A and B are shown apart, each in its own frame.
Chain A
Amino acid sequence: MTRPAATIRGACLCGGVRFEVARAVGPFELCHCSRCRKASGSAFVAGLGVRADDYRLLAGAELIRRFELPRVERPPPYRTSFCSRCGSPVPDPEADAEWFELPAGLLEDDPGLEPDRHIFVELRAPWFGITDDLPQLTKQQLIALRSGRES
């Protein structure tokens, strides 16, 4: 089967859940919050922004299991979806979402974007030092950025 050259493919570790995205639009954010660290079992989650219209699940819908943590502050609750066979986090956009983030480690092709920033840096793991020169935003700075105010 041929595919457009720009299509970005991705899959979970066992290959049961497979998807493709026509393009990645970003932002591409590295989240250091404690929930993302636990959910991913890594120093930070690499969340790549894609448009829902550009995303296509190719296989494995029946394998996807969803977990929601009780919400801490305001909706939406923290949600993570994973392959029930291998445990990999997998994309799982809400039905009405126009845009969502997927775990970039699942990608088999270069998304063509570089990470934009580190976020929730005040919550980063004590054993992890950020050594690159990307912007480092706290939760408050991120909220300001997303609300359009100067950060």
Chain B
Amino acid sequence: MSESQIEGACLCGAVAFHIELPTTACVHCHCTMCQRNHGAGYVTWIALPRGQLAIDAGERELVRYQSSSHGSRSFCGRCGTSLLCESTQRPEEVDIPLANLKGEIDRKPQLHIFFDDRSEWTRIDDELPRLGGATGLETIRT
């Protein structure tokens, strides 16, 4: 595995994959769909061109859930770990939770999106830009 490749897997290890750097983005998403699907306050995603993701094992374990008219989320059917988010609005890219990668990637989280949708109990004190509003992607603090 070269230095530009990072391995990843679900909790049980049934689904294993690797990505090829560079990524195109790394964001903290506070939308309610991410909260519900991960049971978390917010989810830190990376985005990268589809061709830079390779599933090395367990592809048949992946269960795809159509979470909106344009988006789907895929998880390991054995352990439930969320592994992919795909959108027809960005068909050339795929999103992966940073938590499921084993090594450090080429960037740090860059910004918060859907910040106005954050949970009542989420406290963010960092200096990253915050996007929110009706689309979740409007600048509310730079």
Q: Are B41's CB and A46's CB within 8 A?
A: yes
A51 on the B face (CB < 8 A) = no
* Residues A42 and B43 in contact in the complex (CB < 8 Å), given A12-B36, A69-B12, A80-B79: yes
Q: Which of A53-61, A110-118, A141-149 contacts B (4 or more CB under 8 A)?
A: A110-118
The docked-state distance in angstroms from the alpha carbon of A102 to that of B39 is 8
The docked-state distance in angstroms from the alpha carbon of A12 to that of B73 is 13
Please name all residues of chain A whose beta carbon is closer than 8 Å to the beta carbon of B38 when the two chains form the complex: 40-42, 88-89, 103, 105
Which A35-78 residues sit within 8 Å CB-CB of chain B? 35, 37-46, 65, 67, 69
Q: Are B81's CB and A104's CB within 8 A?
A: no
Q: Are A106's CB and B39's CB within 8 A?
A: yes
Residue among B65, B79, B80 with the most chain A CB within 10 A? B80
The DSSP consensus for interface residues of chain A is loop
**Total residues of chain B contacting the partner, CB 8 A:** 46
Q: Are A82's CB and B80's CB within 8 A?
A: yes
Can you name 23 A-B pairs with beta carbons within 8 Å? A14-B65, A38-B11, A40-B39, A40-B40, A42-B99, A43-B98, A43-B99, A45-B39, A80-B79, A80-B80, A81-B80, A82-B79, A84-B77, A87-B73, A87-B76, A104-B119, A105-B40, A105-B41, A107-B119, A114-B121, A127-B105, A127-B108, A134-B123
Please name all residues of chain A whose beta carbon is closer than 8 Å to the beta carbon of B120 when the two chains form the complex: 110-111
State the total of A-B contacts with C-beta under 8 angstroms. Answer: 154
A2 on the B face (CB < 8 A) = no
* Residues A103 and B79 in contact in the complex (CB < 8 Å), given A40-B99, A67-B11, A127-B44: no
> Knowing that A42-B41, A86-B67, A115-B123 are A-B contacts, what are 13 other residue pairs whose CB atoms are under 8 Å apart, sorted by A's residue number?
A35-B11, A38-B9, A40-B38, A41-B81, A45-B40, A67-B78, A88-B80, A103-B40, A113-B121, A114-B123, A127-B44, A127-B108, A132-B123
Please name all residues of chain B whose beta carbon is closer than 8 Å to the beta carbon of A40 when the two chains form the complex: 38-40, 82, 99
> Which B positions have Cβ atoms within 8 angstroms of A?
9-12, 26, 33-44, 63, 65, 67, 73-83, 97-100, 104-105, 108-109, 119-121, 123-126
**Minimum-distance CB pairs A-B, first 5:** A103-B39, A82-B80, A87-B75, A41-B97, A42-B40
B48 → chain A, closest Cβ, in Å?
Answer: 15
**Total residues of chain A contacting the partner, CB 8 A:** 51
The docked-state distance in angstroms from the alpha carbon of A128 to that of B26 is 12
Choose from A81, A127, A132 the contact partner of B104 (Cβ within 8 Å).
A127
